[in-house]
C-alpha cells in the first residue's frame, strides 16, 4: 500500500461572523463598532479615539479587514454553512482532509455557529447530513465506511465525549507523523440518524458553565472528528482507497478575567483556555510569517498539537472568526480580527489521501475468481431484468407471491360470501316463518272472537229456554194451589214451551263447527311451522359453529359472527313485537271490561246517593203487606216485588235482552208507576212514564242486585235469593269468566246466564205488555210518557164498579203482571226512619258517563209512595232474576226507580 496523493498549497480560508448586539450589551449602553461593509470587508471602529483630538485628526478611527467571507447579524445558519463548510464535503469523500474551527472571544457565537439550536442547527448537523447524502448518491459504485469520534480538551486534558468514563486520553503521533488520540471511541456507521444521536449524547457531556460573559459558556475546546474511507466496489489489480478526516472544532472563547469576573475553578479554566488559544495564536503567527522559516511550536498545547495538520499540514482549513459588534468588546474584536487576518496568510499543503493497494501474484487468482463470480452475478442480473421486461407477470417473484395471496384471499372471500349467503338465507327463512306464525296467531284470535260470539248466542238461547221452562213450571205449581182460578185462566200455558232452536242459533252452531275445523287446521299449520322454525334455528346454529373452521381470517369471522348476532336480534325483536301485539289486544279487551265495571260502580254510587237523599227527606208510607210491585219494559224486562206481613218482600226481576251491541246506545227510558191496595180497598195506582238517560241497563240491574244484596246483609235476614246472578260484563278473552275463550272442543255450559243477540220472546212480551200494566191500573199508559197523578186514598177507599171490575181482572193476571197489595204502609213509614245510607263514601256529585245525575224527585204525597214500573234498557242480558229481600231492599228499589224518573207529579 502506498500513498499516491499529490500535494498542493492552499491558503487557509477565513470567514468572519459578527453576532447581533446582545441585550446585556444594549443595557450597558454599548454601541456598534463592527460593521460588515460587503461579503468580505469588515470595518471596526475604535470607540476610544477622540474625534476632537487635533493631533490625531488625520488618523482614521476605523480599521478595515478583508476576509474570504463576512457575515453580520442578518446571516442565517444555512448561509454560514453553505459559504464555509459545504464545499469541503466533496473534497472529504475524495480523500482531502478538512478542518472547520470557530474562533473568537467568549460569548461571540462560536457554539451557536458550530452546534446551533434545535430550530437552527449548526455546522455539525448540516455537514453530517450532507456527507451522508453524498455517500448515498455514490454508494452504487463506491464503498464507504464512516467513523466518528468526539472529544473535548478541558483544562489541557482530553476527554472522550462518546465515552466519558474512559478517563483522560493522550495524544500520540503515529509513524507517519499524524496525531492520533490513543483509546478514543470511534463509532463506525453510515446511518446519519445514529451519528446525530451520538452527537447529541456527546454535547450533553460537554463542560459548560455560566459566566458573567455567557450563560452557556463552553469551558473546553470540542473536537468532532469524522473519518471517511472510500474504495471502489469494483475490485481491480490496483485497488484505490481514499481516506480523509474532517475536524469540526468549537473552541473555547478567549476571556478576560475582568470581563468574566471568574473566580476559582472558572478562573482556572479561563487560564487554560487562554493559554491554549495563545498557543494557537502563536502557531498562526508562525505559520503566517511571510518567509515561512519561523518555527511553529505545536507542542505548546494539546489544541495546537491536535490542529497541527489542520493548520499547517494536509488539510483544507476553514476558520470562522466570531466577534461582537459592541463597543465594549472592542479589544477582543480587534485581537480576533488581527489573528483572523493573520490566519489568512497561513498556507497548507493539501493532498489527497489516496492509497494504491498492490497485491502479490498469488492473490491474483482469487481476485480473478472473485471478478468472474461478479461477472456471473451481473450477467444473471441482466438476464433477469430482460426476462422481466418480456414477461413481467411471471418472472417477478413478488408478483407471483401477490398473485398467490390474491388468489387465496379470493378463495377465502368466496368462502366467506358463501357462508354469509347460507346464514342470511337461514335467517330470512326464520323471519318468514316467524311472520307466518304471527299471521296465524292473529287469525286464531279472530276465530276465538267469532267463536265467543256464537257461543254466546247459543248460551243465550239455552238460557232463554231454561227460563221459559222454569216459568212454565212455576205457573203450573201456582195453578195447583189455586185450582179454581187456574181452570178459568186461559192464558196459562199447558204444554212445555217451544224449545226448537231459532235460525240464529242454528247458524251459530254451524259456524262453530266451521270455526272448529278452521282452528284445527290452523293448529296443524302452526305445529308444522314451529317445527320448521326449530330446524332452521338448528341450521343457523350449526353454520355459526362452522365459522371458526371455515373462515381463517379473524376479521371475516368477526364480521360473520356479528351478522349472526344482528339477525338473531332481528328475529327476537319480531317475536317480541308479535307477543306485544297479542298482549296489547288482550289488554284492550280487558280495558273494555274494566271500563264497564267502572260504569257499573259509578251507577251504584249514584243510586245509593239518590236513596240517601230520598230517605233523608221522605217518609215511607202506603206500602203494606201483600203489596206487589211490578215493572216491565218494552223488551220484556220485568221487576216484581211482593210484600207480605212478617216476611221479606219477594222480588222478581225478569228481563229480556236485545242485541248487545245496542247496549250502550240506549237513550230513552220510560218509567211507569202502578199502584194498588187490594186488601183494605185502598188501592193506589199510578202510572207514569218517565224518560231517563240510562247508559247501561245492565249496570242498572246490577245496581239493583247490589242494593238487594247489601240490604239483605244489613238486615241479616236474607231468606232466599232465588236468582241467577248477573255475570260481569262479558269478556270474550277472559277464559276464567267467559266461556267464549274456551276451546271450540269444549261444550258451552247449559243455562249460561249471559244472553246476547236475542230477540224478545213473543210470549214474554205478551205476559208483560204495557196493556197488561195499564189494565191493572185502569188508566193505561200516559200517551207521551208523562207522569199520571196517582189517586188519593180517599178515592181508593170507595172504588167505583169499574174499578172493582178492573181489580178482578187484575187479580187474574197477577201471576204475569205486577201488583201492589201492601198493607203496612205505616210500618214501612216507621221503618224508613231507621234507614241508613248504604255507602257513606258515595259521592253525591258523581256523574255517570258524563251526564249529571237526575234531579232528586220528591213525591208531594208523603203517605203515598210511588210505585213505579221501571222500563230499563231493552239490551239487558239478564234473562231472569227472582229475589226475596227484606223491606229495605224494596225501598232501595223504589228510590232507584224514582231517581231515574224524568219528572214527578205535582200536587
- Which is closer to ligand ATP, CB of 23 or CB of 545? 23
- How far is the C-alpha of 778 from the C-alpha of 261, rounded, in Å? 147
SS3 label, residue 145 = strand
Residue 304 is labelled as binding a ligand: no
List the x/- string, 479-518, binding to ligand ATP by CB under 6 A: ----------------------------------------
Q: Residue 254 Cβ, how far from ligand ATP at the closest point, in Å?
A: 8
The total of other beta-carbon atoms located within 10 Å of residue 66's CB is: 14
109 belongs to the binding site for ligand ATP (CB under 6 A): yes
User: What's the CA dihedral at 799, 801, 804, 809 to 10 degrees?
Assistant: -150
Q: Are 863 and 825 in contact (CB under 8 A)?
A: yes
SS3 label, residue 445 = helix
121 belongs to the binding site for ligand ATP (CB under 6 A): no
- Which is closer to ligand ATP, CB of 119 or CB of 836? 119
Applying CB under 6 A, which part among 107-115, 155-163, 814-822, 887-895 lies near ligand ATP?
A: 107-115
Residue burial 691-702, b: 16+ Cβ < 10 Å; e: rest: bbebbbbbbbbb
Q: Residue 104 Cβ, how far from ligand ATP at the closest point, in Å?
A: 6
Q: Residue 322 Cβ, how far from ligand ATP at the closest point, in Å?
A: 6
- Which is closer to ligand ATP, CB of 256 or CB of 601? 256
- Which is closer to ligand ATP, CB of 218 or CB of 866? 218
- Which is closer to ligand ATP, CB of 99 or CB of 610? 99
Q: Residue 112 Cβ, how far from ligand ATP at the closest point, in Å?
A: 4
How is residue 131 written as a grid cell?
456527507
- How far is the C-alpha of 461 from the C-alpha of 505, rounded, in Å? 7
Residue 751 is labelled as binding a ligand: no
Crossing angle between the packed helical segments 697-715 and 554-617, to the nearest 10 degrees: 60
Residue 51 is labelled as binding a ligand: no
SS3 label, residue 255 = coil
Which member of 13, 83, 97, 111 binds ligand ATP (CB under 6 A)? 111
- How far is the C-alpha of 604 from the C-alpha of 785, rounded, in Å? 25
How is residue 408 written as a grid cell?
387465496
Phi/psi of residue 203, nearest 5 degrees:
-60, -35
Q: Residue 35 Cβ, how far from ligand ATP at the closest point, in Å?
A: 15
List the x/- string, 417-446, binding to ligand ATP by CB under 6 A: ------------------------------
Residues in the chain: 907
314 belongs to the binding site for ligand ATP (CB under 6 A): no
Please name the residue ranges forming H helices in 784-886: 793-797, 801-812, 825-833
108 belongs to the binding site for ligand ATP (CB under 6 A): yes
- Which is closer to ligand ATP, CB of 20 or CB of 91? 20
735 belongs to the binding site for ligand ATP (CB under 6 A): no
Applying CB under 6 A, which part among 104-112, 429-437, 533-541, 809-817 lies near ligand ATP?
A: 104-112
Applying CB under 6 A, which part among 209-217, 632-640, 795-803, 833-841 lies near ligand ATP?
A: 209-217
112 belongs to the binding site for ligand ATP (CB under 6 A): yes
- Which is closer to ligand ATP, CB of 270 or CB of 748? 270
786 CB-contact burial (10 Å; exposed 0-12 / middle 13-18 / buried 19+): middle
Count of residues touching ligand ATP (by CB under 6 A): 17
The conformation of residue 172, written as its DSSP 8-state character, comes to E
Q: Residue 170 Cβ, how far from ligand ATP at the closest point, in Å?
A: 25
How is residue 515 written as a grid cell?
270455526
Which member of 36, 110, 351, 869 binds ligand ATP (CB under 6 A)? 110
Q: Residue 273 Cβ, how far from ligand ATP at the closest point, in Å?
A: 8
How is residue 898 written as a grid cell?
224514582
Question: Residue written as cell 461593509?
Answer: 37
Residues 7-36 that bind ligand ATP (CB under 6 A): 19-20
553 CB-contact burial (10 Å; exposed 0-12 / middle 13-18 / buried 19+): middle
How distant is the alpha carbon of residue 385 from its chain centre? Answer: 58
DSSP structure string for 197-244:
HHHHHHHHHS-EE--SS-TTEE-SEEEEEEEEEEEESS--SEEEEEEE
Q: Residue 219 Cβ, how far from ligand ATP at the closest point, in Å?
A: 8
How is residue 689 written as a grid cell?
212514564
List Cβ neighbours of 745 (8 Å cut-off, separation of 6 or more).
516
Applying CB under 6 A, which part among 61-69, 210-218, 369-377, 555-563 lies near ligand ATP?
A: 210-218
Residue 785 is labelled as binding a ligand: no
- Which is closer to ligand ATP, CB of 20 or CB of 47? 20
Residues 761-780 that bind ligand ATP (CB under 6 A): none
Q: Residue 205 Cβ, how far from ligand ATP at the closest point, in Å?
A: 15
Residue 106 is labelled as binding a ligand: yes
221 belongs to the binding site for ligand ATP (CB under 6 A): no
Residue 110 is labelled as binding a ligand: yes
107 belongs to the binding site for ligand ATP (CB under 6 A): yes
Q: Residue 195 Cβ, how far from ligand ATP at the closest point, in Å?
A: 22
- How far is the C-alpha of 46 from the C-alpha of 786, rounded, in Å? 140
Q: Residue 26 Cβ, how far from ligand ATP at the closest point, in Å?
A: 13
Q: Residue 74 Cβ, how far from ligand ATP at the closest point, in Å?
A: 9
Q: Residue 36 Cβ, how far from ligand ATP at the closest point, in Å?
A: 12
- How far is the C-alpha of 477 from the C-alpha of 479, rounded, in Å? 5
83 belongs to the binding site for ligand ATP (CB under 6 A): no
Residues 248-307 that bind ligand ATP (CB under 6 A): 252-253
Q: Residue 207 Cβ, how far from ligand ATP at the closest point, in Å?
A: 10
**For 767, how many CA atoms within 13 A lie in the half-sphere containing its CB?**
26
Applying CB under 6 A, which part among 105-113, 143-151, 286-294, 896-904 lies near ligand ATP?
A: 105-113
Q: Residue 92 Cβ, how far from ligand ATP at the closest point, in Å?
A: 25
SS3 label, residue 142 = strand
Which member of 84, 106, 463, 637 binds ligand ATP (CB under 6 A)? 106
- Which is closer to ligand ATP, CB of 274 or CB of 511? 274
Residue 189 is labelled as binding a ligand: no
Q: Are 641 and 652 in contact (CB under 8 A)?
A: yes
463 CB-contact burial (10 Å; exposed 0-12 / middle 13-18 / buried 19+): buried
Phi/psi of residue 253, nearest 5 degrees:
-85, 140
Residue 224's beta-bridge partner residues? 150, 248
- Which is closer to ligand ATP, CB of 104 or CB of 636? 104
- Which is closer to ligand ATP, CB of 104 or CB of 281? 104
The total of other beta-carbon atoms located within 10 Å of residue 874's CB is: 22
Beta strand 628-632 with 41-45: parallel, antiparallel or unpaired?
A: unpaired
- How far is the C-alpha of 592 from the C-alpha of 878, rounded, in Å? 19
Residue 105 is labelled as binding a ligand: yes
Four-residue CA torsion sign, 409, 414, 419, 420: positive
Phi/psi of residue 894, nearest 5 degrees:
-60, -45
Q: Are 106 and 260 in contact (CB under 8 A)?
A: yes
- How far is the C-alpha of 674 from the C-alpha of 74, rounded, in Å? 129
Applying CB under 6 A, which part among 106-114, 131-139, 355-363, 737-745 lies near ligand ATP?
A: 106-114
- Which is closer to ligand ATP, CB of 135 or CB of 252? 252
774 to 540, 687, 817, 818: CA distances (angstroms): 80, 7, 10, 11
Which member of 83, 99, 218, 276 binds ligand ATP (CB under 6 A)? 218
- Which is closer to ligand ATP, CB of 326 or CB of 876? 326
Residues lying near ligand ATP in the complex (CB under 6 A):
19-20, 104, 106-112, 214, 216-218, 252-253, 322
Residues tagged in the binding site annotation? 104-111
Residues tagged in the binding site annotation for ATP? 104-111
Amino acid at each position: 500500500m502506498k500513498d499516491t496523493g499529490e500535494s498542493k498549497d492552499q491558503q487557509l480560508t477565513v470567514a468572519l461572523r459578527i453576532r447581533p448586539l446582545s441585550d446585556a450589551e444594549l443595557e450597558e449602553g454599548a454601541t456598534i463598532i463592527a460593521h460588515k461593509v460587503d461579503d468580505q470587508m469588515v470595518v471596526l471602529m475604535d470607540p476610544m479615539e477622540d474625534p476632537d483630538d487635533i493631533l490625531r485628526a488625520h488618523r482614521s478611527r476605523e480599521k478595515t479587514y478583508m476576509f474570504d467571507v463576512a457575515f453580520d447579524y442578518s446571516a442565517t445558519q444555512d448561509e454560514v454553512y453553505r459559504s464555509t463548510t459545504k464545499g469541503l464535503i466533496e473534497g472529504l469523500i475524495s480523500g482531502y482532509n478538512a478542518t472547520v474551527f470557530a474562533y473568537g472571544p467568549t460569548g461571540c457565537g462560536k457554539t451557536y455557529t458550530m452546534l446551533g439550536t434545535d430550530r437552527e442547527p449548526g455546522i455539525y448537523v448540516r455537514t453530517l447530513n450532507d456527507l451522508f447524502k453524498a455517500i448515498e448518491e455514490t454508494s452504487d459504485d463506491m464503498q464507504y465506511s464512516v467513523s466518528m469520534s468526539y472529544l473535548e480538551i478541558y483544562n489541557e486534558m482530553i476527554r472522550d465525549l462518546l465515552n466519558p468514563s474512559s478517563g483522560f486520553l493522550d495524544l500520540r503521533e503515529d509513524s507517519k507523523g499524524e496525531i492520533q488520540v490513543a483509546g478514543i471511541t470511534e463509532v463506525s456507521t453510515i446511518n446519519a440518524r445514529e451519528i446525530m444521536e451520538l452527537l447529541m449524547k456527546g454535547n450533553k457531556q460537554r463542560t459548560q458553565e455560566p459566566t458573567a460573559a455567557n450563560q452557556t459558556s463552553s469551558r473546553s475546546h470540542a473536537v468532532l472528528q469524522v473519518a471517511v474511507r472510500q474504495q471502489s466496489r469494483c475490485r481491480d489489480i490496483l485497488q484505490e482507497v481514499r481516506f480523509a478526516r474532517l475536524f469540526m472544532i468549537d473552541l473555547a472563547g478567549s476571556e478576560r478575567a475582568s470581563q468574566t469576573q471568574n473566580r476559582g475553578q472558572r478562573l482556572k479554566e479561563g487560564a487554560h483556555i487562554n493559554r491554549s488559544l495563545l498557543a494557537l495564536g502563536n502557531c498562526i503567527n508562525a505559520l503566517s510569517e511571510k518567509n515561512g522559516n519561523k518555527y511553529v511550536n505545536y507542542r505548546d498545547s494539546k489544541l495546537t498539537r491536535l490542529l497541527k495538520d489542520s493548520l499547517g499540514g494536509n488539510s483544507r482549513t476553514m476558520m470562522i472568526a466570531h466577534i461582537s459588534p459592541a463597543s465594549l468588546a472592542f479589544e477582543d474584536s480587534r485581537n480576533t480580527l488581527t489573528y483572523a487576518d493573520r490566519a489568512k496568510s497561513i498556507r497548507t499543503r493539501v493532498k489527497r489521501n489516496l492509497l494504491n493497494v498492490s497485491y502479490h501474484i498469488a492473490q491474483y487468482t482469487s481476485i480473478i475468481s472473485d471478478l468472474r463470480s461478479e461477472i456471473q452475478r451481473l450477467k444473471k442480473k441482466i438476464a433477469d431484468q430482460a426476462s422481466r421486461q418480456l414477461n413481467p407477470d411471471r418472472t417477478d417473484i413478488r408478483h407471483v407471491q401477490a398473485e398467490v395471496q390474491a388468489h387465496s384471499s379470493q378463495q377465502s372471500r368466496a368462502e366467506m360470501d358463501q357462508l354469509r349467503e347460507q346464514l342470511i338465507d337461514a335467517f330470512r327463512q326464520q323471519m318468514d316463518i316467524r311472520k307466518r306464525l304471527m299471521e296465524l296467531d292473529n287469525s286464531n284470535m279472530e276465530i276465538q272472537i267469532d267463536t265467543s260470539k256464537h257461543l254466546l248466542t247459543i248460551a243465550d238461547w239455552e238460557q232463554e229456554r231454561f227460563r221459559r221452562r222454569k216459568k212454565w213450571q212455576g205457573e203450573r205449581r201456582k195453578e195447583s194451589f189455586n185450582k179454581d182460578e187456574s181452570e178459568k185462566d186461559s192464558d196459562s200455558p199447558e204444554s212445555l214451551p217451544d224449545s226448537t232452536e231459532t235460525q240464529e242459533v242454528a247458524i251459530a252452531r254451524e259456524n262453530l263447527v266451521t270455526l272448529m275445523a278452521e282452528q284445527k287446521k290452523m293448529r296443524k299449520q302452526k305445529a308444522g311451522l314451529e317445527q320448521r322454525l326449530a330446524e332452521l334455528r338448528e341450521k343457523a346454529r350449526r353454520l355459526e359453529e362452522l365459522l371458526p373452521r371455515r373462515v381463517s381470517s379473524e376479521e371475516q369471522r368477526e364480521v360473520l359472527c356479528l351478522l349472526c348476532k344482528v339477525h338473531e336480534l332481528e328475529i327476537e325483536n319480531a317475536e317480541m313485537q308479535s307477543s306485544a301485539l297479542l298482549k296489547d289486544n288482550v289488554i284492550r279487551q280487558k280495558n273494555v271490561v274494566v271500563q264497564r265495571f267502572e260504569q257499573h260502580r259509578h251507577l251504584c254510587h249514584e243510586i245509593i246517593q239518590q236513596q240517601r237523599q230520598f230517605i233523608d227527606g221522605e217518609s215511607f208510607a202506603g206500602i203494606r203487606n201483600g203489596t206487589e210491585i211490578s215493572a216491565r219494559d218494552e223488551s220484556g224486562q220485568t221487576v216484581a216485588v211482593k210484600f207480605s206481613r212478617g216476611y221479606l218482600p219477594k222480588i222478581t226481576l225478569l228481563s229480556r235482552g236485545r242485541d248487545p251491541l245496542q247496549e250502550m246506545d240506549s237513550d230513552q227510558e220510560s218509567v211507569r208507576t202502578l199502584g194498588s191496595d187490594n186488601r183494605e180497598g185502598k188501592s193506589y195506582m199510578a202510572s207514569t212514564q218517565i224518560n231517563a238517560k240510562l247508559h247501561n241497563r245492565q249496570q242498572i240491574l246490577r245496581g239493583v242486585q247490589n242494593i238487594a244484596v247489601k240490604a239483605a246483609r244489613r238486615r241479616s235476614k236474607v231468606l232466599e235469593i232465588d236468582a241467577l246472578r248477573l255475570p260481569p260484563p262479558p269478556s270474550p278473552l277472559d277464559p276464567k269468566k267467559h266461556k267464549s275463550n274456551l276451546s271450540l272442543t269444549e261444550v258451552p255450559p247449559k243455562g249460561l246466564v249471559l244472553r246476547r243477540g236475542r230477540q224478545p220472546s213473543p210470549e214474554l212480551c205478551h205476559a208483560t205488555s204495557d196493556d197488561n200494566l195499564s189494565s191493572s191500573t185502569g188508566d193505561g199508559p200516559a200517551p207521551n210518557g208523562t207522569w199520571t197523578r196517582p189517586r188519593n186514598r180517599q178515592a181508593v177507599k170507595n172504588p167505583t164498579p169499574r174499578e172493582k171490575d178492573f181489580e178482578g181482572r187484575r187479580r187474574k193476571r197477577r201471576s204475569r203482571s205486577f201488583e201492589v197489595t201492601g198493607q203496612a204502609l205505616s210500618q214501612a213509614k216507621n221503618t224508613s226512619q231507621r234507614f241508613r245510607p248504604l255507602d257513606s263514601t258515595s259521592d253525591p256529585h258523581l256523574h255517570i258517563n258524563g251526564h249529571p245525575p237526575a234531579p232528586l224527585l220528591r213525591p208531594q204525597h208523603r203517605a203515598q209512595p210511588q210505585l213505579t214500573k221501571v222500563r230499563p234498557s231493552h239490551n239487558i242480558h239478564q234473562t231472569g232474576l227472582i229475589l226475596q229481600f227484606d223491606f229495605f231492599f224494596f225501598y232501595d228499589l223504589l228510590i232507584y226507580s224514582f231517581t231515574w224518573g224524568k219528572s214527578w207529579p205535582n200536587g
